[in-house]
Amino acid sequence: MFQRILVPLDGSARAEEAIPTAAYLARTTGASLFLLRVITPSFTYVSTYPYSWEPPDALELAMEQGQAEAYDYLAHVVLTEHVDDIHYYVAVEDGQPISRVLQFVRENQIDLIVMRSHGEAGIRRWLLGSVARGIVRRSPVPALIIRDACGQAISKPQELQHKLRILVPLDGTHFAESALLPAAQLSAALASPAQGAIHLTQTVLYIREGGERRRELITRINKDTQAEAEAYLKSVEQRFQTGDLAQFHLQVTSSVVPHSDHAEIWKRILEEAGQAQLRSLSSPGPNDLPAYATCDIIAMATHGRHGLEHLLEGSVTESVLDASIYPLLVAHTQNAETDEEIVKETKRA
């Protein structure tokens, strides 16, 4: 389970919306909660003196004042968000937000980041889409991104009227399967003490019919593709039943979703997550709902800027993040090249 959970903050009320979820996870897992405020005084300081009359220690004084205000802010957040009943830490860092957050993650052995997808507007608010995207893209640990319309699954999971379920899109590769462990951990933690659930799905390319003579061949190929995907998903299900993921005691279901164009993959993933909720709005009968009705969170792996030949490449994950109303758990597949880039950026900051 998660042991050290980080919430990056930018001073905005919207960024603070990640705290209740992180605190809930900390309470159910016994994890420590870290609240981090990154400030950039060198960019926000504006001199009131002509350049030639600038006091030599003006920037240093501005940085000290910014740090003091940031600590006061964090102390206020601890009280207003009622996290003083759990093991928590507060920290203030100055510099470039992305590199500082990632450096903090490594130095403090953080194993989960919980954050909002956007902060407030304005030049002084750093937790914007580009920064959140950069953290997600480069983070060596899973990041749970909270969207505007996340609902009870994130804010009050204990009040859900259904089994909390996480959708995990797969593509048949070990890379995509790297999202399974953090998804299982998150499902078990959010659903506790009830049973959590995972729904596995794989999108497969269906060949379009190309004429009367080829119709039978194409139908047979599509059926074989469907059968192969179903067999693969069943093998993954076994990991939750008798394999390495059985310890989480989750309910697991699966489905195969066809598409006719690779550009449609992210749309089909969102449709698969939302179809049960759409059917619920139409008041269907019990037999009309699939066994995996209602997916509350989507969990995906990403290469960041690498691995363009993989089906679930970074661009697909980011497309889901941009378009989804669901929370997104992103598991990063770290590699030596990415590690080296982060180290270089941290040294430059």
Asked, for residue 345, whether it belongs to a domain, the answer is no
pLDDT of residue 280: 37
Is 181 found in the same domain as 326? yes
Asked, for residue 206, whether it belongs to a domain, the answer is yes
Asked, for residue 347, whether it belongs to a domain, the answer is no
In order along the chain (349 residues), what is the average pLDDT of each group of 10 residues? 94 90 94 94 52 61 84 95 94 91 96 79 48 82 82 66 86 92 96 91 84 78 94 96 96 90 84 61 43 75 54 64 85 56 47
Closest CA to 83 of 146, 18, 38: 18
Count other C-beta atoms under 10 Å from residue 186's C-beta: 26
pLDDT of residue 47: 53
Q: Is the pTM of this model over 0.85?
A: no
Cα–Cα distance, 58 to 237 (Å, whole number) = 61
Edge-first strand order for the sheet with 112-116 is 88-94, 32-39, 4-9, 112-116, 143-146, 328-332, 297-302, 165-170, 197-205, 251-259
Is 220 found in the same domain as 90? no
Strand partners for 9: 37
Coil, strand or helix at 127: coil
Task: Look at the chain and report how many structural domains it folds into.
Answer: 2
Tokens of 210: 């190309």
Hey, CA dihedral for 120, 122, 128, 129, is it positive or negative?
positive
Is 178 found in the same domain as 97? no
| Residue located via tokens 């049960």 | 276
Q: What is the CATH number of the domain that holds 159?
A: 3.40.50.620
Tokens of 167: 């959708």
Is 179 found in the same domain as 241? yes
- Of how many residues is the chain composed? 349
pLDDT of residue 279: 38
pLDDT of residue 311: 40
User: By residue range, what is the domain housing residue 136?
Assistant: 4-140
Is 123 found in the same domain as 176? no
pLDDT of residue 48: 55
Cα–Cα distance, 181 to 188 (Å, whole number) = 11
Count other C-beta atoms under 10 Å from residue 48's C-beta: 7
Helix (H) / strand (E) containing 186 = helix 180-191
